Amino acid sequence: MKLLILDRDGTLNRSRDDYVASADEWEPLPGALEAIARLNHGGWRVVLATNQSGLGRGMFDMASLNAIHTKMHRALAAVGGRVEAVFFCPHAPEDACTCRKPAPGLFEQIGERFGLPLADVPAAGNALRHVQAAAAAGCPTHLLMTGKSEHLRGQVDTLVPRAPPSTALLGLPPGTCVHADLAAFADWLLAQDPTADARASGLAPL
């Protein structure tokens, strides 16, 4: 099984200054849904790991979160994509839980659920805390220059798999690769397996 862990807000959908608190506020980033579909066709199963402290702060409830994810799953299905599961931390920062990123708890839960060593599970997201949590759990780490990291465009060399020296100045874990967005990350990941890349492009049978 090939498993991939992604962040949600700012990676798959547009982030907000406060919270994505309703289905109406959930808006996919250009090309992100299609990128997941291509990864699926390349043999990758995708799960999300996301902090949702708006629950703990009382900014929205579980019904609203479920409605957001229902909209997300339907939008993905419309382009031939699928997210296997959404692992989320509902706690506020003061709760001092072990699952709120940058703590690695969500990633450890995913590894246990799917029975995979996390060293074999790449993780990509737009926030430093996502990358730090992934590294703490042992995942190969990738930063996307969208959402919280959009300001880094033009400051960091996005040629991968080389991790530029400048990534150390950003506080990124050693070996972190940097990509323009989810589509660029999907391109890179699929290129590591030419057969998968061909399947994702419709050039080989699934």
The Cα–Cα gap between 135 and 141 comes to 6
What confidence tier does 157 reach under pLDDT thresholds 50, 70, 90? low
pLDDT at 17 (0 to 100): 84
pLDDT at 22 (0 to 100): 95
Please answer whether residues 144 and 185 qualify as being in contact, where contact means their C-beta atoms are separated by less than 8 angstroms.
yes
Lowest mean pLDDT among 76-85, 132-141, 157-166: 157-166
What confidence tier does 18 reach under pLDDT thresholds 50, 70, 90? confident
Active-site residue flag, 7: yes
Decide which of 138 and 158 is more confident: 138
Lowest mean pLDDT among 21-25, 35-39, 112-116, 169-173: 169-173
Instruction: State the Cα torsion 41-44-45-49 to the nearest 10°.
Output: -120
* List 7, 17, 61, 157, catalytic entry: 7
Residues 29-75: pLDDT tens digits?
999 999 999 999 999 999 999 999 999 898 899 999 999 999 999 99
* List 9, 18, 24, 61, catalytic entry: 9
